[in-house]
Structure 1
């Protein structure tokens, strides 16, 4: 069994040559246990990959049910054929949410989300980097990772491009040694081929570096594409990224079509002298239990002082009721308000109304025209908060329509 833990999709702009969902479908056919989509400083492609993985799971479940009811279709396999030549039609690869963090002052690190806490940590790191940089840029420093900690994540360290006797690698080693002191048990060194005929020597150098740092090595094909047919597209993307013609890319072009998603059998041939790296990659993937299915939308907290959102909304609504009806409100209006507040509390929608109230007040304080419209006019709460300007008691629509 094998799991690919460092995939680059086309959400790494002008670098990856395949969609996240293409990787999922290819991984299913290749029989991979799990894959990690790890784009540069983003988790934007994870949602598409997650949706594709769910669709693959649905199709596999349908196929299993059909085969259980009707049996396999087609002639029987020859008795001397040990491995069927068909694709792994029953495989559902597990998606591991991840991102490859590119630091300003440290080597690249792929961060794998082990659980929900790890996913939250990864998202906070990316938010930190993007908030301090221009649009489309993510500025992260090593100190950001050290401050954030590593609760719920595993770190894959990418080795330097030049490994020959490590001359000139001091700049790479300095932050790495600091990382290993802080996060040693959660760090792993990626052993990835370059497909240039020098991989045996490169693997030996990486193994020596891992021994020096006291880190375990993990195998990864570091795919840029789900299939070798995408090589030409990858070169076109590189030409656009560098602002040159394709025929002048030179060494920036891919030397071949090898940097693609690979099956376990292919990886075993590539790493025949380092089989433990494949086993470690699979073992690590088994520790990754987080799925986007565990997430539910959680509206931002609207706690103010010692008041709960329910108490604050009720107070603002009652104050607004006196403002809207200075000479007293009717029993009908008071009944409608009580009904709406009860339904809002039941559905836990108070933060939404409080946020809208803050937006309306912000606009009104600055003389910006702001008016609720549509079915919001059915709500006494909206009327009391000043979101709408027409009392809903003169209409016949119900509040439930707005909710």
Structure 2
């Protein structure tokens, strides 16, 4: 079945990649479901097939995000909607949703309902904290609010509604409605069963995961762009392996936009781990995860890799299990193998342990394993400390267990995206923007990164832009990236396609000619003017808006009357600040000066250093930095760190905000667009963090940017 689906996708040039233990088996490699050679990794057979399991293995396949619907419809057509359906997922209440529904039911006004929900963290599973309630102006001791909080606590974790699984297909030999309740989905041409995906194993129904992955869309678009301007057709299989320049780029943490290792936590790890080959990438993908972090495995592995700590093994028997990770268990399969070797689990029992890892937060069931691990290891001569460490890692895998085979599948896409960023940066950046939304970074951040790499970026222009961003040849260099009309907020693709078609019959003479030939209404013309896309026909934004208004007047009450020749109106050019603000409002980015370049004098007066000046600061020194907040990332770790990414005209600064400071200055942390951080610089090799001690909101400075073009140097 999976082979059939993958063959269809490839026949339609839809990029896909299998992942997981079964997908990385020899059979799936031979069938072309995955590109990972199983000889390059150590598979645990019982991870996906065992006598106790007594069922076929799940095989997950990722497809291009924006073409997965073609694959879904193929499955419905191939097997029939009477025998194929998507499975459901029971969505449960989190803190914000629970407090919102309880407050509504108790009759609180909408503004209070919203304010209460805002007091919860985005994925919090607890009622709002008393301190946050007081901060928002609520009285936690009022009878109504106490009732709201009490009922909220009872509702969290309770089923809220049945939703559609993103891609889990149930395929049956018999008509599905003879086995399970079936209904039409909200989306056209889709059918779903009314059972949760976790109930399928119990009744033995076959599930095939047809999943979506944005990076596959970006990679396929990148391949198409390269073929368009270089006439070279690349594929995942033909990208040169083990490229030195690619690994050097990865070691510098120059990984904005790539797959899996683009987060601030991963970028902080890269200069320490310095991957030098594919298996190092497999480890990198898996190591910054709750399992290894919570189990205390990360630092021992790094010390051993740097030869600062001797590589040791708990026993000779476990050396074979742990040798590839220097004696430190990092992968889910290794935990299973430890249970087999050190605790005398059968392979099938080890698979049951794996299933318990994944389900313990929802259903419990790990306690018997904890006792058996401790007693079994003690009986076989292992320390209680080692048993406790392994159990902590098992609990971490409950949050996000990463099997080695899964990490290997992802590492293949990680390497491919890194190679493209290293050797085809213009095509890669262009493809990322055309595939957005995806990943950690906005188009603005990707473009700012591209400019720091000396790529030529050209603005949206009706004379040259298509709907998507595109590439324009440059002699002896990477091609220039031309921003597409898709970048204009609110602009319709149909209007863009008509502009492309009209341009094929000759260049536009003026704005009136553009509007007439492309059949653009007043809204579309105003959006183009605001975005600066009419500069080539009008000169600048102010002139473009004036001319658009004139064209609309001619098409309105005064249509049909002779056009009156008037003396040209002299309009002042927009200031740099006006252009900058209009760019961000209309296009979400600017190709002019970075906002902080205009504020550098003001920031220096406040003793704020730039990201470039931080390179001269020694470890442990106090420093103040200001930057635009481009990311607030809270990893799922017990340490309670919030990573904040600040951007200025020279680059990014990674800020570590500890939990107590985040709680004390939550409003500033969450609300500031321009953030000043007073803290201490920490360096470890090439890794540089600013440990925050105080946060200040400088967002009001952004509204004061009024510098004129001639004043900017």
**Fold equivalence (TM over 0.5):** no
Normalised TM-score (structure 2): 0.20
- RCO greater where, 1 or 2, for CA within 8 Å and sep 6 or more? 1
Which protein has the bigger strand share? 2
Normalised TM-score (structure 1): 0.30
